[in-house]
Amino acid sequence: MAMAEKEFHKRLHEEKTVEMLPGVFRTTLAYNGALMLCHFHMKKGAKIPLHSHEAAQIGYVIKGKVRFFTKDGQDIVVEPGSSYVFDSRQEHGSDVLEDTELIECFTPMRPEYIV
């Protein structure tokens, strides 16, 4: 099945950014039924509570610093150049320690993130 250009080619500055939690801004980029790429900008002091989702999540930090934690007690601080992964349904959350920019991929894609 052929896809329209808009569905497989997106530019960050042309897409809608959503404040999904206080200080947490998401821009959904390219995706298909199996995979989704998102850009996040998070303000220092923002918090994402423990949560889980069907999608596995992998990310890369462009700038800033974030502490990720899991329900089972894992705790890591990621900085520029760091990558991380959370398995499907693995409970995780975060505290934003500095203004941060990162990219994340989700598989399968997260339909609730389609703007």
pLDDT of residue 7: 59
pLDDT attached to residue 61: 98
Q: 113 pLDDT exceeds 50?
A: yes
Please calculate the CA angle 62-108-18 and round it to the nearest 5 degrees.
Answer: 50
Q: Give the integer Cα–Cα distance in Å for 111 and 115.
A: 9
Residue 81 DSSP one-character state: T
16: DSSP letter: P
Query: What is the reported pLDDT for 28?
Result: 95
Q: Rounded distance, CA 85 to CA 57, Å? A: 6
Token pair listed for 73: 């007690």
pLDDT at 68: 98
Domains and CATH numbers, the chain: 5-113 (2.60.120.10)
**Residues paired with residue 101 on neighbouring β-strands, in sequence order:** 41, 63
Q: What is the chain's mean pLDDT, rounded?
A: 92
pLDDT tens profile 19-65: 999 999 999 999 999 999 999 999 999 999 999 999 999 999 999 99
Share of the chain above pLDDT 70, in %: 93
